Structure 1
Amino acid sequence: MADPVFYDDSLRIAIEVVQDILGADADVTYLRDGQGQLHVFVPETTQKARVSALDEALRKRLGRYAPRFGRLVHLDQPSSEPVLLVVGDQRIKYVERRFAGVDWTLSPAPVAVEPPRLVFYSIKGGVGRTTALTVLATHIAMRGGTVLCLDLDLEAPGLGQAMLPEELTPEFGALDWLAERAIQGLNAELPKLRDLIGTSPVARDSGRIDVIPAFGVRCFRSPGTVLGKLSRSLLESPEDGRITTFGKRVTELIERACETRRYDAVLIDARAGLSEISAAPLLALGADVLLFMADSNQSFVTYSALLTYLQRFAPTNPEADDWRLRFKTIRGRVANPGDVVASERFLDRIATVFAEGLYDEASDAGDLDVFNFAPDDSDAPHYPVSIAFDPRYQTYEPLEFTEQTNPEVAEAAFGAFTRWCIERLGLDQKP
């Protein structure tokens, strides 16, 4: 009896079978469909006898990971552009189809035009991600800047409640806009932006902080509709011959908001974890991405899974815009910032996660085009910017505790972080 085949084994087995029958240099594309089953696309010139032998061998070896109906071996090419996926010591051409979460399969969007966008992302909650966003927004506003904050943590929102009092909360939130856009389609009757954006009083009349909360007043009035809207906001449907994903709709929302007012920066609070909602801020918005994490095994293991997955989109053209440079590690709520041993241990572990996941393999020949960094390179994506733990920010309620917006109080914990962000956003050059 043959050994059972599981998801992790199936692609490797398919590659072995293909190479046994067609040779290691065969021009082959592998596709995993929405049900998880594998398809192989071979050149039209492949001999019929070899196609039949390949089909038979794949079905025998793959078991339930071979399609039960229709062809397994195709004499054409898939409609989607393949990526180069690392499997073992080789790269293969690979396409992944999904019933949901198509944003995870699309190459990262090119860097966004003005204003610059900064995504706040974490694997888990409790690492100070949203607090850091609001502190940075306040810092920019107190410098006289104008910033747009968007809450995309649709399953556990908090940004709107932190920055907007009840009387300034808009009628609609991001969830309403995204759901209506998905349900109604391209020519949707959407909530007007003036009913979607609230202006926070936290800026203290110096600059301006506009907030698109996840939930507007309508969600609070009719909480029973929230889960229904959440499901519909993720719908993926064809429009003008292409699939409109959650990420494309978020991009449209940001662009429409930025057409109404000039912003110095757009700050996006992402959903934590590896959900379908998380893909859009990581890949679809053309933003710099701050990877918040704690010094815990959970963070290292899960970030390893994320970064290893993202490596499949690494550009092969050395002159291309390398989206990997947009990532930066943020070590949040560090209880012992002066502990050199703990800091070195963290740096060593996160450098290893990036080296084994997102970075290219180091070149013995010293190839300058290889995307790799020394562990102690402070400009590297893995090298952390730290935020110290401060009990005054255990919960962030700037509308109630105005001390939290005091620049001198914020400096102790967030000074290095805000300075790094201001430089990254290009705001250090502005008066």
Structure 2
Amino acid sequence: MTAAQNFDQALPAALAVLKQRFPAVSPLTTIVRDAFGLLTVVLPDSALAEASDWDELADRLDAELGRYSPGVRRVLLRTSDLIDEDAICASSDRIRLPDQTNTWLLDRLQTNQDWLRRPLSASPPLPTAIAFSIKGGVGRTTALALWAWHLARQGKKVVVVDLDLEAPGLAGVLLDEDRMPDFGVVDWLIETLSGDADSFPLSECLGECALAESTPGRIRVLPAFGKRTKNYINKLGRVFMPVFSNDDEARLPGFAERLQRLLVQIKRLDDTPDAVL
């Protein structure tokens, strides 16, 4: 075999080595890929009987991974080598690799893998709808604006949240300049990185939409940023960051957990909304 020459070749190379060493049934395996793409294979202490077997497998992995190996001393670890076994082998960020029974991948990204997780709850605190697309310019902003107006005409109270943080546009459609709030969702997300969702008043991030004043309903807009928002780019680079927490149920809460807290805060608003878009 030829040593892996690029990122895409590294993981298949490691799996091929493990398959040759464990052709029948593989032990419970966790492969950790760091922020640079380097791979470390973690096996149970009982996976190999002799120290020489560990050395041989480490040498083989190091050779096949090439520049995607962290070095022969770190490319293969026993679970007993880990400071916190559960943080690796029971992490909520692990994903089972396709066509693998006992092999998991833990990707050490700059953000945690919220998009791969199961929903945090069976149902949101409030009726919630999301407009999602991997391509811009498909009409999400227009659709949500029209939907919010339609619901307001039916007497519904709606909160519209702009989570298109890299290309925000809802405020430009639904809020006049003089109705822009002081702050926006990016400010709320940053200020709640500490885990204290009550530390930053959500009321300072909401603007009233004039479009709904002629309807029996109400539209409040939570824009990406507000009139007093500063350092937007610096904040944007941090909003998806996971943080440590003393909460045993969420040791590394990230973007998904904070969005769930945001929905809880919206539910607690005076004049509780009927829906969140």
TM-score normalised by structure 2 residue count: 0.84
Percent of paired sites with the same residue: 34
Give runs of aligned pairs for residues 148-163 of structure 1, distance below 5 A. Answer: 148-163=159-174
**What is the aligned partner in structure 1 of residue 75 from structure 2?**
72
Contact residue 112 and residue 241 of structure 2 kept, 8 A: no
Shift in CA distance, 91/11, structure 1 to aligned 2, threshold 3 Å: farther
Shift in CA distance, 59/187, structure 1 to aligned 2, threshold 3 Å: same
Is 1:51 the counterpart of 2:60? The answer is: no
Give runs of aligned pairs for residues 177-216 of structure 1, distance below 5 A. Answer: 177-182=188-193, 185-187=194-196, 190-203=199-212, 204-216=214-226
CA–CA separation in structure 2 for the residues paired with 1:125 and 1:105:
19
Choose the corresponding residue for 2:157, options 127, 146, 153. 146
Is 1:120 the counterpart of 2:131? The answer is: yes
**Amino acid aligned to 1:37:** L
CA–CA separation in structure 2 for the residues paired with 1:229 and 1:42:
39
Contact residue 175 and residue 215 of structure 1 kept, 8 A: yes
Choose the corresponding residue for 1:246, options 249, 255, 260. 255
User: SS of 2:244's equivalent?
Assistant: strand
Contact residue 177 and residue 190 of structure 1 kept, 8 A: no
CA–CA separation in structure 1 for the residues paired with 2:253 and 2:171:
27
User: SS of 2:238's equivalent?
Assistant: helix
Choose the corresponding residue for 1:97, options 91, 94, 107. 107
**What is the aligned partner in structure 1 of residue 240 from structure 2?**
234
**What is the aligned partner in structure 2 of residue 257 from structure 1?**
266
**Amino acid aligned to 2:133:** S
CA–CA separation in structure 2 for the residues paired with 1:229 and 1:194:
20
Shift in CA distance, 97/244, structure 1 to aligned 2, threshold 3 Å: same
Shift in CA distance, 103/26, structure 1 to aligned 2, threshold 3 Å: closer
Is 1:108 the counterpart of 2:118? The answer is: yes
**Amino acid aligned to 2:261:** E
Shift in CA distance, 20/3, structure 1 to aligned 2, threshold 3 Å: closer
RMSD in angstroms over aligned alpha carbons?
Answer: 2.4
**What is the aligned partner in structure 2 of residue 335 from structure 1?**
none
**Amino acid aligned to 1:47:** A
Following superposition, the deviation at residue 70 of structure 1 comes to 4.4
Relative to its length, the structure with more helix (as a share) is 1
CA–CA separation in structure 2 for the residues paired with 1:31 and 1:228:
29
Shift in CA distance, 15/153, structure 1 to aligned 2, threshold 3 Å: same
Shift in CA distance, 25/56, structure 1 to aligned 2, threshold 3 Å: same
Following superposition, the deviation at residue 92 of structure 1 comes to 5.2
CA–CA separation in structure 1 for the residues paired with 2:148 and 2:118:
25
Contact residue 22 and residue 50 of structure 1 kept, 8 A: no
Aligned length: 259
Contact residue 58 and residue 73 of structure 2 kept, 8 A: no
Shift in CA distance, 72/105, structure 1 to aligned 2, threshold 3 Å: farther
**Amino acid aligned to 1:174:** V
TM-score normalised by structure 1 residue count: 0.55
Following superposition, the deviation at residue 104 of structure 1 comes to 4.3
Give runs of aligned pairs for residues 130-145 of structure 1, distance below 5 A. Answer: 130-145=141-156
CA–CA separation in structure 2 for the residues paired with 1:138 and 1:208:
9
Which blocks of at least 5 consecutive residues in structure 2 are unaligned? 80-84
Is 1:21 the counterpart of 2:28? The answer is: no
Shift in CA distance, 91/128, structure 1 to aligned 2, threshold 3 Å: farther
